[in-house]
Structure 1
Amino acid sequence: MRLILPMPGNEAFGEQLAKAGGFELGRLETRHFPDGESYVRLLSDVVGRPVDVVCSLARPDPGFLSLIFAADAARDLGAAEVNLVAPYLAYMRQDRRFATGEAVTSRPFARLISSSFDRLVTVDPHLHRYPALTALYAIPTRTLHAAPALAEWIAAEVPHPLIIGPDEESEQWVQAVAAAVGAPHVVLSKIRRGDREVEIEFPDLTPWPDRRPVLLDDIASSGRTLIEAARQLQQRGLPPPVCVVVHGIFAGEAFAELSRVSERVVSSDSVLHASNAIRLAPLVAAALQTLESDGPVRRRRREAD
């Protein structure tokens, strides 16, 4: 039986995942020594078992070493394989050198993950200049898509929606959500001027005066795109939108600002937040049950101490 091993802060997702898939829920202990170094102890038997370490990688830096230590301990203690379940995958933004001397952090981060885990399962990674995760990661990866779960929530909660995507890159998955809901959709044009400054151009929205706008985005970090789009919708005489995002990072005051110009803001539980309304555990559990189809793990395991 698979062992689900949630890292600190991921206990709720881990419990839902174990329940959805009929897996065993494992436990570990983490703390810090007086000098600040990390201590990790696995409290569940891993010998001969596939171990799926659950860790959403939003704000990854503080707990990253503990994650790597947990994976290493599971391997040393005899796990058949050690996989990373990262509902949100960090370090996808810096995919090229924008200024002289910058670190292209997506590459070394992928190497670190690839050197510590046998497989990676994630949901809607922010692929921009990379065609797929295989361009970065040296291990088998499984990319899951939250669009069906988002569509199910919108269909149940928002009458007569108009699905609105934030930019041209969102066209394909916004169209998929709209088709599943049976609603029209439009896509905005966005020019980003910096981390917190965007310009947005709207298409003609007059054909849908009685529709409730639903702003759909994969990631809300600073939230500037959604905030600006919500404001401009109301300036055009439309009602406050419902905002639906896959990964709700909501840095700083982003959630409060967005809530002030929206009817409702919801997110999936890929990142723990008060806005979580869309559960991803069933999606991930189904993927874990079919991991063997990705092929055998070809990693040399060290002998357990």
Structure 2
Amino acid sequence: MKALIVSAPADRPLAEQIAAHLDAELAVAEVRAFPDEETYVRIDSEVSGRQVVVVANLVRPNAKVLPALFLAETARELDAASIGLATPYLPYMRQDARFAPGEGLTSRYFGALISRSFDWLATIDPHLHRYHSLDECYAIPSRVAESATPIARWLVENIERPLIVGPDEESYQWVAAVAQKAGLPSVIMDKIRHGDREVKVTGSGLPPWTDQTPVILDDIISTGRTMVETVRHLREAGLKPPVCVGVHALFVGDAYQILRGSGVERVVTCNTISHLSNAIDVIGELAAAVGTFIED
């Protein structure tokens, strides 16, 4: 029996892509708000005994988590054999430590919440910094699909003489993976953060790379301040206008416009979050991760 892909209407295009990759069935599902804004869900497809995949892009998660949880619990009561969550962007990963007394460790709280309703989780490049794996905050099996191969392929096909630049040590894991797969040189900058929107980027060793096209690579572009500051540092060092590449295109407020106006050649992102900068398709990688669960 084919796996059943379930989603809210907003995530239907993503669900269709994943279903096509896996030759799975798309469920007939209804998710809507009552007049008082409470959530109504209904799965009008045969669920009993089937492997169910709830597809939900949890970017800006607070309005999206409850419908996903309710779909999972509905499938559970309809006697699904298993219920997994496929989300290209996994939120609540950056608060992975208490930086000030009294702060909530929301990454762990969110992990516990998801783990209560789902049997497994598949996502793309979660922001793992102080955590070594999702097992440290999720009590269910997980698969992490990596964007490194599609990004490396895109760089080789589209950029002349790329130099991959990581704006800080947190970007090292993505920079190293892409550089290795593409056979490209890389450097890592140093970053000092003074607040959510104020950073300082420094680094040495750039002058030998003045004939290269710098490619600033990071997993999340949120306020864009880190990349803007990195662009400024690279231009002051005499390098060419850089290409900025991000896995997850959050772009809070006017961040995209600010980054585009900072002296970059181009801004490119993966399609984990729908944005006009999307140029690198990674949904096949997510579908493959989902497939490891439903084919077991």
Give the TM-score band, short-chain normalised.
over 0.9
- The within-5 A match list for 1:78-117 is 78-117=79-118
Distance 2:104 2:224 in 1: 25
Distance 2:96 2:205 in 1: 34
Q: Provide structure 2 residue ranges, at least 5 long, that are not aligned to the other structure.
A: none
The answer to whether residue 204 in structure 2 is matched with residue 203 in structure 1 is yes
- Matched with 1:285 is 287
- Matched with 1:36 is 37
- The within-5 A match list for 1:1-20 is 1-20=2-21
- Matched with 2:269 is 267
- The within-5 A match list for 1:113-262 is 113-261=114-262, 262=264
Contact 1:186/1:203, CA 8 A, preserved across alignment: no
- Matched with 2:278 is 276
Structure 2 letter corresponding to 1:28: A
Secondary structure of 1:213's partner?
strand
Contact 2:272/2:283, CA 8 A, preserved across alignment: no
CA offset at residue 222 of structure 1?
1.1
CA offset at residue 8 of structure 1?
3.6
Structure 2 letter corresponding to 1:147: A
Structure 1 letter corresponding to 2:33: H
Secondary structure of 2:127's partner?
coil
Secondary structure of 1:207's partner?
helix
CA offset at residue 148 of structure 1?
0.7
For residues 48-97 of structure 1, the C-alpha deviation after alignment (integer angstroms, 9 at most, x for no partner) is 11111111211000122111111111111121111001111111111222
CA offset at residue 185 of structure 1?
0.8
Structure 1 letter corresponding to 2:272: S
Secondary structure of 2:54's partner?
strand
Structure 1 letter corresponding to 2:72: A
Runs of 4+ in structure 1 over 4 Å off: none
- Compute the TM-score of the two structures, normalised by the length of structure 2: 0.94
CA offset at residue 292 of structure 1?
5.7
- The within-5 A match list for 1:39-58 is 39-58=40-59
Deviates most, 248-257 or 272-281? 272-281
- Compute the TM-score of the two structures, normalised by the length of structure 1: 0.92
For residues 232-258 of structure 1, the C-alpha deviation after alignment (integer angstroms, 9 at most, x for no partner) is 222223222111111111111111111
CA offset at residue 98 of structure 1?
2.1
CA offset at residue 117 of structure 1?
0.3
Distance 2:164 2:97 in 1: 31
Secondary structure of 2:187's partner?
strand
Distance 1:6 1:268 in 2: 21
Cα RMSD, aligned residues only: 1.6
Distance 1:191 1:277 in 2: 30
- Matched with 1:302 is none
